[in-house]
Amino acid sequence: MTTKENYLHEFFRILFANRQLVKRVFLVFAVIALLLPLVLKQSFDITAEVIVQSKKLSQSDTNTALAQETDKFIPPSLADMETESNILRSPTLIRQTITQLRDEGLYDVPPGLLQRLVFGPIRSLIVNPLREYVVNPVRSLFGLEVDPVRDTQLDTLTDDAIKDLKIETLPGSNVVSITYSFPDPKVGTLFVSRLLDNYLRNRQNLQSNELPQEFYEQKKMQYQVRMDDLESKRLGMLEGIGSSDPKEEITFRLNAINTEEQALNQYRDRLLQSQQWLEYLKTSLAAASNANMRDFAFPFTFTQTVDNVAFEDREIKQLGEQLTTQVLTYVSDLAVFQPGSEQMLLQREQIAKTRQQFLKIVANRIQEREKDLAVVQNVIAQKTQRIADYKSRVHQLQETQSKARQLDTEIDALHKAFFTYTQRYEEARGERLLSGDVSNARILSAPYEPAEPAFPKPMLIIPFGMLTGLLLGIALVYVREFFDHRFKHPAQITQQLGLPVLLVINDQTPETHNPHKGWSLPRLVHWVRN
């Protein structure tokens, strides 16, 4: 019959059999865990965040034609964010920041223990004298460049800052996180702040088209002089033709030409009509002058129509009716009286006088029409001349407008170029960059001085140190038990040798109690030994 092995009993047997070793290992690690927070050097974590809103693409350089909007901004990609991180962690930027703080007396960091004990004496006693007294004289002898003595402390500080500076891009975002571990929280905060300032300034220098400020100032002055000349030329040209806005005046003149041409056409039609009627009246007057006494009718009534209303000439109408009455009376009396009688002679004389008056009035009307025809001709000539003057003025205005348009185009181009150079000049100075108006990268979270150290943390080190000591003591007990082949209990004899156990004699040594009372060092020593 197979007996079931009790693993828990075996575990506690081994543990209590080697409790002295477990206690000693546990106490060693407990002491170490208690001393570590006091021995380890404190380190403070200074954090900051930078957000990159977009990536700047220059569409042209300073040697090509300038436009008002030459730079485009697109969302940053993963590679762009990695580039931003590389700019932040670049040794040149870190070295520049440390140099500035050291020059200002704000970065006084003593070298580390290894630097003081090993590398510092080696450099000062061996490397630097060897370079100064052996290498440099030999190089100068052969005409080579002398290797200057480097600032090893600055190199060491830069290397330490690179190791302690953690820069990474937050996953799935355009935010770069900066974490700097440093013993002095005030100096570390100042270092991160200056590092961010230098980063923004260097980033702007990398992305902008750099030119000297004198170049921008010279260009601005040239554009100002050129724009003043063009504006003066344009103003003088407009004053020369007496117009402030040629386009509006051209529109006004064209409307006037259209109105005058319509009136001119009406006057020409009236002139043609008046000429035909005048010829007809002259012919009719000549025929009426040569007609006999009995032809009393005149083929024109001298009726004038104004706004569809007919106005008759009353004087001609009365004389015509009177002449018609006299002729009719004469014809009727001629059948009764002799042609040579006194009454007939008197009627003929009256008819002749009336006819003469009628023909005289008709002649006067024809003369009036001739005068009216001359007036119409003068009006036509005047309107023709006025239209010609208008057209000449329009042609002059069109030429001026064309020249003014060319000047306006050149002035607009100068304005755009002037604006672009002014904007780039401001970017070169970096004033608007630091205020956050132009830069597409901004500080999302500024660094602040931490109140508690990030390392060491006693609340983590002590519990984990004691747990580690306990687990390591148990592990050492099992390793020791594994290599110890002695018999520990009677069951091992039967299991290993196959012999029955006849007698088991227990250890009769009485257990010694701790003679020391209370929490004291002798009591602890006695507990460790037993």
* 204 plus 286 within the same structural domain: no
Write down the pLDDT at residue 313: 75
* 86 plus 179 within the same structural domain: yes
* 204 plus 267 within the same structural domain: no
Identify whether the C-beta of residue 173 lies closer than 8 Å to the C-beta of residue 180: no
Pairing of strands 44-52, 441-445: antiparallel
Q: Is the pLDDT of residue 262 over 90?
A: yes
Cis peptide before 185 (omega within 30 of 0): no
pLDDT level of residue 436 (50, 70, 90 thresholds): very low
- Within-domain flag for 37: no
Provide the 10 A C-beta neighbour count for residue 29: 20
Contacts 24+ apart (CB under 8 A), 79-86: 80/52, 80/55, 81/52, 81/169, 81/174, 81/176, 82/169, 84/50, 84/52, 84/169, 84/176, 84/203, 84/441, 85/167, 85/168, 85/169, 85/176
* DSSP 3-state of 211: coil
> How far is it, in rounded angstroms, from Cα 45 to Cα 42?
10
Q: How many domains does the chain have?
A: 3
Write down the pLDDT at residue 142: 62
More confident residue, 469 or 206: 469
Domain span including residue 327: 240-426
Q: Is the pLDDT of residue 121 over 60?
A: no
CA 17 to chain centre: 79
User: What CATH number has the domain bearing residue 313?
Assistant: 1.10.287
For the segment 26-70, what is each residue's pLDDT rounded down to a tens digit? 888 888 877 777 777 778 888 999 988 776 665 544 444 444 445
* 58 plus 120 within the same structural domain: yes
pLDDT level of residue 433 (50, 70, 90 thresholds): very low
**What DSSP assignment string belongs to 479-503?**
HHHHH--S--SHHHHHHHH------
pLDDT level of residue 109 (50, 70, 90 thresholds): low
Identify whether the C-beta of residue 366 lies closer than 8 Å to the C-beta of residue 285: yes
Handedness of CA 48, 53, 55, 57 (dihedral sign): negative
Write down the pLDDT at residue 177: 92
* 260 plus 348 within the same structural domain: yes
Highest mean pLDDT among 206-215, 273-282, 385-394: 385-394
Structural tokens at position 217: 């100032």
* 167 plus 86 within the same structural domain: yes
Across 66-75, 296-305, 397-406, 413-422, least confident range:
66-75
* 307 plus 396 within the same structural domain: yes
More confident residue, 521 or 239: 239
> How far is it, in rounded angstroms, from Cα 63 to Cα 147?
39
Write down the pLDDT at residue 353: 87
Classify residue 180 by its DSSP letter. Answer: E
Identify whether the C-beta of residue 421 lies closer than 8 Å to the C-beta of residue 220: yes
Q: Is the pLDDT of residue 116 over 70?
A: no
* 189 plus 254 within the same structural domain: no
Q: What is the mean pLDDT of residues 456-471?
A: 80
Q: What are phi and psi of 74, to 5 degrees?
A: -125, 160
Beta-carbon contacts of 105 under 8 Å, excluding residues fewer than 6 positions away, are none
- Within-domain flag for 23: no
> How far is it, in rounded angstroms, from Cα 161 to Cα 167?
12
Helix (H) or strand (E) holding 167: strand 165-169
- Within-domain flag for 108: yes
* 195 plus 248 within the same structural domain: no
Q: Percentage of residues in the chain with pLDDT exceeding 70?
A: 73
Structural tokens at position 42: 């404190």
Q: Is the pLDDT of residue 119 over 50?
A: no
- Within-domain flag for 123: yes
Q: Specify the length of the chain in residues.
A: 530
Write down the pLDDT at residue 62: 46
Domain final residue pick, 411, 426, 441: 426
Write down the pLDDT at residue 530: 63
More confident residue, 93 or 27: 93
pLDDT level of residue 150 (50, 70, 90 thresholds): low
- Within-domain flag for 17: no
> How far is it, in rounded angstroms, from Cα 227 to Cα 516?
103
Write down the pLDDT at residue 146: 54
**How far is the CA of 72 from the CAs of 64, 174, 308, 309, in angstroms?**
16, 18, 73, 76
* 78 plus 185 within the same structural domain: yes
For the segment 304-325, what is each residue's pLDDT rounded down to a tens digit? 766 666 667 788 788 888 888 8
* DSSP 3-state of 475: helix
Closest to 425 in 3D by CA, of 208, 252, 155, 105 = 208
Q: What are phi and psi of 52, to 5 degrees?
A: -105, 105
Q: What is the mean pLDDT of residues 97-117?
A: 70
**Average per-residue pLDDT for the chain:** 77
Beta-carbon contacts of 103 under 8 Å, excluding residues fewer than 6 positions away, are none
Q: Which residue has the tokens 């590398």?
A: 119
**Amino acid type, 309:** V
- Within-domain flag for 299: yes
Identify whether the C-beta of residue 167 lies closer than 8 Å to the C-beta of residue 85: yes
* 266 plus 388 within the same structural domain: yes
> How far is it, in rounded angstroms, from Cα 199 to Cα 49?
12
Q: What is the mean pLDDT of residues 65-80?
A: 62
Highest mean pLDDT among 75-79, 96-100, 456-460, 464-468: 96-100
* 185 plus 250 within the same structural domain: no
Beta-carbon contacts of 362 under 8 Å, excluding residues fewer than 6 positions away, are 281, 285, 288, 298, 302, 316
Q: What is the mean pLDDT of residues 70-91?
A: 79
Q: Is the pLDDT of residue 2 over 70?
A: no
Q: What is the mean pLDDT of residues 120-145?
A: 61
**What DSSP assignment string belongs to 388-450?**
HHHHHHHHHHHHHHHHHHHHHHHHHHHHHHHHHHHHHHHHHHTHHHHTTSS-SEEEEE-----
For the segment 180-232, what is each residue's pLDDT rounded down to a tens digit? 988 888 888 999 999 998 888 887 766 655 555 666 677 778 878 888 888 88
According to DSSP, the residues that pair with 48 across neighbouring strands are 178
- Within-domain flag for 228: no
- The 3-state secondary structure of 10-49 reads HHHHHHHHCHHHHHHHHHHHHHHHHHHHHHCCCEEEEEEE
Write down the pLDDT at residue 259: 92
Closest to 50 in 3D by CA, of 444, 516, 352, 517 = 444
More confident residue, 109 or 123: 109
- Within-domain flag for 179: yes
pLDDT level of residue 438 (50, 70, 90 thresholds): very low
Domain final residue pick, 405, 426, 447: 426
* DSSP 3-state of 169: strand
For the segment 480-515, what is each residue's pLDDT rounded down to a tens digit? 777 777 777 777 777 777 778 777 777 666 666 666
Domain final residue pick, 375, 409, 426: 426
Q: What are phi and psi of 47, to 5 degrees?
A: -115, 150
Beta-carbon contacts of 461 under 8 Å, excluding residues fewer than 6 positions away, are 33, 36, 37
